Structure 1
Amino acid sequence: MATVSAKVYEHHKKSDGTYNVKICVYHKGERRFLDTNHYVVQKQLTKTKKIKDTFILDKLNEQLKEYRKAISDLDAMLENFTAESLRDYLKDRDEDVEFIQFCKEHINSLKTDGRTGTAKNHSAICNSLVDYFKRQKVSIKEINSNMLLSYERFLKSDRIMTRLNQFGKPVVTTEKGLSDSGLHNHMRDLRTLFNEARRKYNNEDLGIYRIKHYPFQRYKVGSPPITKKRNNEIDDVLKLRDCPTVPNSRAELAKELYMLSFYLCGINAVDLYYLSLQNIRNGRIDYNRKKTKDLRKDNAFISIRIIQEARPLLEKYVEKLKCRYKSPNYLNYALSKGMAHLRNLTGIKNLTLYWARHTFANTARNRCRLNKDDVSLALNHVDEGNRVTDIYIEKDWKIVDDVQKKVMRILRKIESKKDKPKKSKKKKKINKQAA
């Protein structure tokens, strides 16, 4: 049986002559200690360091009574605790969870794990909560279903935001309200953060529930809305490729990385950023997709054939992007600016690097009539419906090569038609018959 008692130890004496009263938690032959808010001096103690001050004793007895009741309520689950975990349970069981602080700690752990994209998304959630509550501290109890409905209206409306720039100076901007798709993603990420908090502070095995409510049972995030297809026509791909740009400009960077992504089955910007010469062997690029490599058992590995059009671009950018840009975020910023310039130069309204991935996929499926499984393999996606089957089937990269070959055949075919000179139509002579 676990016990708790108030203790004062000589070696805990502070420089001002006071002692902090400790709560000793004894369980399974081990002792752990809890600090209290009570301090005593020598005259409040006996020679054997027993507390004799009745006021302090009454306060301590109330606290000990609460701890003993908490231990008793654990009943059979007490056997699952060590002295240390029991100490932590008694210390934290009634302590409120500060949600903003948790979010910041979780975001830092994501950055440490290299999940910078997810960390950036979750930082947006954290910042918007501070904007909504207008304070830096928010209890997790305040994240409830009624709050979520009000928060949703807040996110849909235009709002003024203050953020710190890279020099630590505040910058005020006006943010437009989120679209239906943006709102869904935002609330989905908030739900993820809430679930992570429950995972950290609740322990079903030990019967510990510091976060007892779950607002997303009443407030439903729902399914994502159907998004507009984000693909360009093949004519636009050629128009973009042949668009004249200033050497070493952001527009040139955006144009050439778009084409490189299209040539390499829709490779993402972050993966191009981290590509090294070690990824290139035997005429292929072997890499693990950064976005999902930590979420899949196969580490999101894919092997893509290097086609002729991709070679000069790879030589130009592999291992150069990391020297040119401090992080993928800086590369994405440059691409954003470059794409904006390209939209003005080409007249193509919708153009981002991610559209190259969608364009490749749409061309493979709708122009080449390839089945979705093969297109999915080329995009390095996981087929959720065939997870068990995938255990038995080894990946054949020749399928990816075939998808790539047929998409490029379409591009080259349209290119050859454009380059082919048009035959002039000969005027037909009309023989006039004599009346």
Structure 2
Amino acid sequence: MAVSVKIELDRRNTRTDGRHPLKLLVVVNRNPIRISLGHSLHPKDWNGKLQSVRNSCKDFDNLTRFNNWLQSEKSKVLSKLVKLEESGNLNRLSANDIKNNITQKNTEVMTLEFFSSVINEMETAKRFGNARVYMTVSRSIASYMKGKDFPLKQITYTWLKKYESWYLSRGNTLNGLSVNIRTLRSLYNIAIKQSKITQEYYPFADYSIRTEETRKRAISREDLIKFLQFKPVIGWHSRAKDYFLISFYLMGASFIDISFLKIKNIINGRIEYKRQKTGKLHSIPVSNQLMSILNGYMKGKKENEFILNIIHSTDPKKQLVEIRDELRRYNRTLKEIGELCGIESKISSYVARHSYATNAKKLGVPTAIISEALGHTTEKMTQVYLDSFENNTVDAYHTQIINL
């Protein structure tokens, strides 16, 4: 990588007395970064070739000491750039990030403050789901630390074990702990990438993130038929049943994804949309069963309007609040429907997603067509297989699964 540092008299800026500011000119891959040295000189007093103040200058009591200081500042910057390059971060950082890294004093990164900074960046990038997770974890850690912020490097293996004991003693689950620790680890990795902390303090190498097997959230094909045959008499029951079946008919689409579906997502007999979580494009045939439900929601709506009546705001953050509130009502109502149908298994928004894959497996659909992990560790691998199939192959299996 092309990196250079020199001391220059910045003649682009001129003070009223004719002086120019002294600056360090850092060039990384032809990108100039200028850092003020807090002094200015007349042009006649500067030797650009030697990058030093001429002996004729009368501005300093000890000219030799000042010139030595200039070279020392230059060496410090070079040293920081070498460390950034050795860590592999120099290529990843923007010019502004490099400048901040060079100019920052040796202040410690505070954990809760850094959480807040990362959350703000996520919200700016409209990654509200991730921001909400980071906010939840930040609040948990703040509660553990009794509201006091603390240096990120204070997180050690011992600290993690103590936090684990505290978290579980409050009746929380191992899987909840796993989410929190993974999020904290991600935050730490962000700090390393931004050169805010070094790898030497990394506390997660020896810490094992534990999980526990969750209760199966799928229901049997027989229970799915009971649900399908349920005749709602209350408006909310009807809406909850629709949400569930829409998700099921869309190969187990998540609630947030069906919430964002618009009329324009229906193209040539297919629903095409990008998953909110991954950005992956999905193309699913619109079955007669699905179309009969959607028709009731689409009357009088324009191409750019949402199909379902879940989102009303144009503000992205408020939209997520609307989805969250509707999801809570939806899950409460599904529980009621399950009891009315005599379904022993608890029904929730996840059940449609899990039931699609489970029933596909029971029907003998190849595992290359379904993702048993449903968004967890093996989904990416399964998606590679899915991408290798033509739409008509996947569609044929899909039709087999949804025909209850």
Contact in 2 for aligned 1:243/1:345 (Cα 8 Å): no
Query: What TM-score, normalized to structure 2?
Result: 0.71
The structural deviation recorded for 1:292 is 0.9
Specify every segment of 5 or more residues in structure 1 that has no aligned partner in the other structure, as ranges. 14-21, 39-47, 159-176, 203-208, 294-299, 412-435
Indicate the residue corresponding to 1:196 in structure 2. Answer: 190
Question: CA–CA distance in 1 between the matches of 2:203 and 2:254?
Answer: 35
Indicate the residue corresponding to 1:297 in structure 2. Answer: none
The structural deviation recorded for 1:4 is 7.4
Map residues 346-365 of structure 1 onto 2, 5 A cutoff. 346-347=338-339, 348=343, 349-365=345-361
Match among 385, 398, 402 for residue 404 of structure 1 = 398
Question: CA–CA distance in 2 between the matches of 1:229 and 1:364?
Answer: 15
Indicate the residue corresponding to 1:337 in structure 2. Answer: 329
CA deviation digits over 1:155-212, x for unaligned, max 9? 1122xxxxxxxxxxxxxxxxxx32122211221121112111211226xxxxxx6564
The structural deviation recorded for 1:26 is 5.2
The letter of the residue matching 2:227 is: L
Distance 1:384 1:50, change over 3 A: same
Q: Are residues 1:105 and 2:117 paired?
A: yes
The letter of the residue matching 1:407 is: I
Indicate the residue corresponding to 1:427 in structure 2. Answer: none
Deviates more, 1:71-80 or 1:85-94: 71-80
Match among 106, 109, 112 for residue 94 of structure 1 = 106
Match among 168, 186, 196 for residue 180 of structure 2 = 186
3-state SS of 1:194 partner:
helix
Indicate the residue corresponding to 1:430 in structure 2. Answer: none
Match among 273, 279, 287 for residue 287 of structure 1 = 273
The structural deviation recorded for 1:215 is 0.5
The letter of the residue matching 2:325 is: Y
The structural deviation recorded for 1:24 is 4.4
Indicate the residue corresponding to 2:319 in structure 1. Answer: 327
Question: CA–CA distance in 1 between the matches of 2:96 and 2:176?
Answer: 44
Distance 1:83 1:34, change over 3 A: farther
3-state SS of 2:201 partner:
coil
Indicate the residue corresponding to 2:151 in structure 1. Answer: 139
Distance 1:197 1:12, change over 3 A: farther
The structural deviation recorded for 1:27 is 5.2
Question: CA–CA distance in 2 between the matches of 1:214 and 1:194?
Answer: 8
Map residues 251-400 of structure 1 onto 2, 5 A cutoff. 251-293=237-279, 300-317=280-297, 319=306, 320-324=308-312, 326-347=318-339, 348=343, 349-366=345-362, 368-376=363-371, 382-384=379-381, 387=384, 393=388, 395-400=389-394
RMSD: 4.3
Indicate the residue corresponding to 1:170 in structure 2. Answer: none
Specify every segment of 5 or more residues in structure 2 that has no aligned partner in the other structure, as ranges. 40-56, 299-305
The structural deviation recorded for 1:328 is 3.7
The structural deviation recorded for 1:97 is 1.4
Question: CA–CA distance in 1 between the matches of 2:199 and 2:68?
Answer: 25
Distance 1:77 1:97, change over 3 A: closer
CA deviation digits over 1:19-59, x for unaligned, max 9? xxx984355798844588x9xxxxxxxxx89466x9xxx9x
The structural deviation recorded for 1:214 is 0.5
Question: CA–CA distance in 2 between the matches of 1:357 and 1:148?
Answer: 34
Q: Are residues 1:235 and 2:255 paired?
A: no
Question: CA–CA distance in 2 between the matches of 1:372 and 1:78?
Answer: 44
Question: CA–CA distance in 1 between the matches of 2:212 and 2:321?
Answer: 27
The structural deviation recorded for 1:286 is 1.3
Aligned pair count? 353
Distance 1:106 1:63, change over 3 A: farther
The letter of the residue matching 2:259 is: Y
Contact in 2 for aligned 1:258/1:356 (Cα 8 Å): yes
Distance 1:99 1:11, change over 3 A: farther
The structural deviation recorded for 1:273 is 1.2
Contact in 1 for aligned 2:23/2:37 (Cα 8 Å): no
Indicate the residue corresponding to 1:433 in structure 2. Answer: none
Contact in 2 for aligned 1:4/1:24 (Cα 8 Å): yes
CA deviation digits over 1:313-336, x for unaligned, max 9? 212346243544752442233232
Question: CA–CA distance in 2 between the matches of 1:32 and 1:109?
Answer: 25
Question: CA–CA distance in 2 between the matches of 1:148 and 1:229?
Answer: 29
Question: CA–CA distance in 2 between the matches of 1:61 and 1:361?
Answer: 72
The structural deviation recorded for 1:77 is 7.0
